[in-house]
Structure 1
Amino acid sequence: MRKLLINLITISSLSLSMVANVAYAAESQTEEKATKRVPALRAKVYSQLARAQALADEGKATEAIEALDNVQKKKASMNSYEVAMMHNFYAFIHYNQENYAEAISSFKQVVAEEAIPESLRLSTLYSLAQLAMMAEDYDLSINYLEQWMAAAGDKVNARSYVLLAQAHYAKKDYQSALKPLQTAIDLTEADQKIPEENWLVLQRAIYYELKQPAKVAQVLERMVQLFDKPEYWLQLSNMYGELELEVKQMATMETAYQRGFVTKRSDLLTLSQLYVFNRVPYKGAQLLQKAMADGVVEETTQNLKFVAQSLVMAREEKAAIPVLAKAATLAEDGNLDAELAQTLMNIQDFEGAIKAAEKALNKGQLDRPGITHLVLGMSYYNLKKFNEAIVAFESAANFKESQKMANQWTGYVRREADTEMQLAQAGL
């Protein structure tokens, strides 16, 4: 939480070199506000505060606190402004020690004094808002920030609206966080400036929590344009996927890949799948093959199968065969051997198809054994080995998924075999 805060404490913790200036400035406050007379910081009190500041600057926090405690013993003789400055120095030291609860307590005592410069009151309210954020007291932070905004006039700026948005976001009040953040962005853009990156990160997070993916995508589009970071490209691609804009999803991730941003295993797998889904299977196969060759993606049965099937979809059956054969050797069941057999038959390598089909049947555990018997029978038929083909088709007829086709092929092959025999007997 600490790194999200803006200019913490620097506004309200006056350095000692500024104290004398504040004392003189305090007198002018009476001219600006006749209703509230601000007393001066006397030299005697100033010197005691100066000693505490010097000790703090030397890293002697305990001694600095003791010096302030000595000042506090004379509180009854001090005016409101002197008391306020004393507590201001307490707060400064407590903050440097990361004792935020004590810093908050001290700052509260600063604003409890009535006769202090308005500038000190405002800066202290702002610091209280920031410290309350660090203490995770978000309601208190919002309360002080709203007090500050009500009185600050033209001092209200983009950063203060961001702080308010952060407090609401931390409370999980995402809707309330949205408006001040957008105001901050609008103010910045009105000055022809670019919103800070962490503001857009917060805006993206708010829209995500509000379940508005289209808005998340819009913010990410800006972040890609302004900051061009790998994670924003990948997040944008994912959001397009959530919005079912698959072409945009693929194009965005492809651009990221070309830029060298897609390096993780999961992202490479996603992009290869996107290529296939969007009917660019050859690119999907090439990408995954390279990823496996580079050692980023494992050469598993599943990944090899994906490459082979992608190549088949791309009508690159010959390129698919060695990949499918390698995948089949890694598989315990015969399903990939069966797929290899069918691919070999498709390119008219009937001898290879027969070997693969027989291997598939020997391994077993086939999802569709009848189809493998059909492939075996058709391969034998194309080699004019009719008897072997009939045996394979008769085996295929024992399975529901292939029964009808197997019976048709059996009848057809028998007729072909009879015709061949008659021609042979006629010497033709």
Structure 2
Amino acid sequence: MERICGRILAAGAVAMLVLAVAPDSPHGILPGVAYAADAPPRLDGFPPTPIQTEDMERRRVPNMSETTYRKFGQAQELIDPCPEDPDNCEVPRDPDGALVILHEMLERSSRYNGNELGQVHQMLAVIYYNDKDDTPNTLHHYEQLLAQVPEITEALEQGTLKTLSQLHLQEENFDTALEYMKRWFAISYNPGPSEYILVGQIHFQRKDFPAAAQALEAAITLAQSRQLTVRENWWAMLNYAHFEMENYDRVIEILEILVRDFPKRQYWIQLAGVYGQEGFEREQLMSFEAAHVAGFLDKESDVMTFGGLLMQNEVPWRGAKYMQVGLDSELVERTPRNLLQVGQAYQLAQEVDSAIGIFEEAGSKSDDGEIYDRLSSLYLEKDEFSKCRTAAERAMDKGGIKKLYNVEIVLGMCQFNLDELREARATFVKARRTAREAEESSAERITQQWIRYIDNESKRRAELEAAGI
């Protein structure tokens, strides 16, 4: 009889474990066990945790009759025909047969006390959840189990309240889930971290991030005080809650813990992003450096961001080479935007030839003339005036240039150096008009100086030609 009873109770325990968030300690929550040294924190809107004293009487529940034991044994054998060796069991399970027995017991409910009825409802809930995937009936029988209080044990009442909360959380009945946890806290002497985590998850789904953060912080503090493991997803949820509340100082603290204890790409990238957002540029670069060393930078965005940070921190040559590897490995797509950034890095690193090659490719793929504008200036610096003229003309043909007068000035200078004085003067006249329309007086002065210089040069050449020189 004791063996059958143990198997019945084990079935109920399995149901609780299926829905459990996390184990808290080897002892769990047992009446008679108290932790005076670390009283659990109280959450806003929750009842105080009861204090258990040594002389407090345990709840007494009615005994189970031998006839009821036999009925449970019959149902249990249909659910679990080979408890000693389930993997090699040749007897098929028959949960439907067990349901028939249990429902017949409910039809004669007047024969049973509250403890016995509670066990019937518990077993029914387990079958409906595990074998029938029938959440409404699962909820119904757990609620009927609670209706047997005070003729069921405190432990069974607590476990059922928590299970109901978890089920309603799964069903997205968040307010109901929260109410069941409030009832749980009202009767539980020793809440552990997992219960606070469950409350945090409920608030999280309700988008009540301050309440979620309070519960999650309480869970972590309690776990640390009891020397229990703080799980990765606890920190991750807490980080998200504080991020939603824009508590970025706390976000940084949590992410620093995550990269230390659970080093993953997502945490390094998030940490670097928040560092940058908050103006900690050195720390941002160091975070990306650590992620690079760990081999976490395996996405195009990672490569381009890290390369850009190296440029900003006056290491453009390394940034250019790093992004070039991304291009060569095809991790980074050769889009105009990506190519432009690589070319800029080469340009900052004084690698002009490499920059030109990249800009030529980028310019041919771009929808506007901005890259050819930049390219024309590089060719001008290298005294490659014919290529300068071609690039400037392509820039103007494509259009979309923010400062059109600049590329017109560069084109005029290239034309002048190609000894195309008439074309150069016409270009500078056009650039003067463009600068005047843009109200750029300095650019207008430059164009006027070039026009005057070309006129003087043309006059000088005409005089020399007239003199036969």
* TM bracket (short chain): 0.7 to 0.9
Q: 1:87 aligns with which of 89, 103, 121?
A: 121
Corresponding residue number in structure 2 for 1:259: 294
CA contact (8 A) 1:325 1:337 kept: yes
Alignment of 1:37-186 (within 5 A): 37-58=60-81, 59-96=93-130, 97-113=132-148, 114-154=150-190, 156-186=191-221
Cα distance, 1:95–1:246 mapped onto 2, change above 3 Å: same
| Equivalent residue letter for 1:286 | K
| Equivalent residue letter for 2:173 | D
The answer to whether 1:330 aligns with 2:365 is yes
SS in 1 for 2:259: helix
State the 1:275 CA deviation. 3.4
For residues 123 and 152 of structure 2, the distance between their equivalents in structure 1, rounded to whole angstroms, comes to 15
Q: 2:264 aligns with which of 192, 209, 229?
A: 229
Deviations 1:154-194 (A, max 9, x none): 3x211111112212222222222222221210121123344
State the 1:36 CA deviation. 5.2
CA contact (8 A) 2:223 2:229 kept: yes
CA contact (8 A) 1:213 1:242 kept: no
State the 1:222 CA deviation. 1.1
SS in 2 for 1:153: coil
**More deviation, 33-42/118-127:** 33-42
| Equivalent residue letter for 2:447 | A
State the 1:145 CA deviation. 2.3
TM-score, with structure 2 as normaliser:
0.75
Alignment of 1:357-396 (within 5 A): 357=392, 360=395, 368-379=403-414, 381-382=416-417, 390=425, 392-394=427-429, 396=431
Corresponding residue number in structure 2 for 1:23: none
For residues 350 and 213 of structure 2, the distance between their equivalents in structure 1, rounded to whole angstroms, comes to 51
SS in 2 for 1:10: helix
Cα distance, 1:118–1:153 mapped onto 2, change above 3 Å: same
Q: 2:355 aligns with which of 315, 320, 331?
A: 320
**More deviation, 79-88/345-354:** 345-354
Q: Identity of aligned pairs, percent?
A: 29
State the 1:277 CA deviation. 4.0
SS in 2 for 1:163: helix
The structure showing larger relative contact order (alpha-carbon pairs under 8 Å, at least 6 residues apart) is 2
For residues 279 and 7 of structure 1, the distance between their equivalents in structure 2, rounded to whole angstroms, comes to 60
SS in 2 for 1:274: helix
Corresponding residue number in structure 2 for 1:17: none
SS in 2 for 1:9: helix
For residues 355 and 135 of structure 1, the distance between their equivalents in structure 2, rounded to whole angstroms, comes to 66
Cα distance, 1:301–1:10 mapped onto 2, change above 3 Å: closer
CA contact (8 A) 1:335 1:360 kept: yes
For residues 286 and 179 of structure 1, the distance between their equivalents in structure 2, rounded to whole angstroms, comes to 46
Corresponding residue number in structure 2 for 1:18: none
| Equivalent residue letter for 1:125 | L
CA contact (8 A) 2:359 2:375 kept: yes
Cα distance, 1:329–1:47 mapped onto 2, change above 3 Å: same
Q: 1:405 aligns with which of 418, 423, 446?
A: 446
Alignment of 1:217-366 (within 5 A): 217-331=252-366, 334-357=369-392, 360=395
State the 1:90 CA deviation. 1.5
State the 1:52 CA deviation. 0.8
CA contact (8 A) 2:19 2:166 kept: no
**More deviation, 355-364/132-141:** 355-364
For residues 374 and 107 of structure 1, the distance between their equivalents in structure 2, rounded to whole angstroms, comes to 82
| Equivalent residue letter for 1:227 | F
TM-score, with structure 1 as normaliser:
0.81
**More deviation, 73-82/331-340:** 331-340
Alignment of 1:13-52 (within 5 A): 37-52=60-75
| Equivalent residue letter for 1:116 | I
| Equivalent residue letter for 1:322 | G
| Equivalent residue letter for 1:55 | L
Deviations 1:94-140 (A, max 9, x none): 22133233222222222322233333333333323333323333333
CA RMSD of aligned residues (A): 3.5
CA contact (8 A) 2:15 2:126 kept: no
Deviations 1:207-243 (A, max 9, x none): 1232323322221221111110111111222222333
For residues 373 and 199 of structure 1, the distance between their equivalents in structure 2, rounded to whole angstroms, comes to 60
For residues 133 and 159 of structure 1, the distance between their equivalents in structure 2, rounded to whole angstroms, comes to 15
Deviations 1:61-108 (A, max 9, x none): 211110112222332222222222222222221221332332222222
CA contact (8 A) 2:59 2:154 kept: no
SS in 1 for 2:435: coil
The answer to whether 1:9 aligns with 2:9 is no
CA contact (8 A) 1:91 1:107 kept: yes
Alignment of 1:198-213 (within 5 A): 198-213=233-248
State the 1:364 CA deviation. 6.5
Structure 2, unmatched stretches of 5+, are 1-12, 21-54, 82-92, 437-442
